[in-house]
Amino acid sequence: MQTITELDQWREPLEQMRAWVLSGVAQQDADFQTRWRRDWATKVGVVAAYLVPGELRPDETWKLQALGVVLGDAMVLRTGARWVEINDDGGADPCLRLNTTATKVVFPMTMIAKRVEKGETLDVQDLIALVDSVAKSSVEPVPSPAQGAVAEQRAVASASGVAVDAHRAPSPAVDEGMGRKLARLVHRLRS
């Protein structure tokens, strides 16, 4: 039988994974720190920087799962979900509970690793689609504070030269150049 409990044995490992991901970001001024804590799009942008082809190998499961934890943190900010543990005969696994009745849970820690291990490539739009699919599953999505209303997002994206697809859910103003810049920062820090 499965039971859902508050984070216990996974609290510290999740913190270690978050710390590893954050350690790869070279420039962490106060503005970045604020966005990191409050803005799901910032977390998605950092995860996307790690997913540049050649940055991580498919066999680096722990690192890929660490990116999944940060992606889960983005989902928490976007949806209001909570990290919990699901316990069964096999042990405990971290997951996100999307509602208070615990009828909906997702396992973001393995979302990225499973896809990369299969040879799939993920980009910013793929990550946003994952976050938004969870947001649509939750009761009420929580908008990103840094993104604001959809119209405001489109205006910001348009002003920064980012193409906006009206048929997609709102996405952060992270263009390909920003992704490359983040990837260079990650690479430089690891060198």
Q: Which domains does the chain have, with CATH numbers?
A: 3-190 (1.20.120.1090)
Question: What gap in Å lies between CA 165 and CA 42, rounded to an integer?
Answer: 20
Work out the pLDDT band at 147, boundaries 50, 70, 90.
very low
pTM of the model: 0.71
Predicted local confidence at residue 138, as pLDDT: 65
Judge contact between 178 and 45, C-beta under 8 A: yes
Nearest in space to 76 (alpha carbons), one of 109, 101, 33, 46: 109
Q: How many CB atoms lie within 10 A of CB 26?
A: 13
Q: Apex CA 41: angle with CA 36 and CA 164, to 5°?
A: 155
**What helix, strand, coil percent values describe the chain, rounded to 5?**
55, 10, 35
pLDDT digits (tens, 9 = 90+) for 89-145: 889 999 999 877 656 888 999 999 999 999 988 887 888 888 888 777 765 444 333
Beta carbons within 8 Å of 15's beta carbon, 6+ residues apart = none
Structure token digits, residue 85:
């543990």
Average pLDDT over residues 152-165: 29
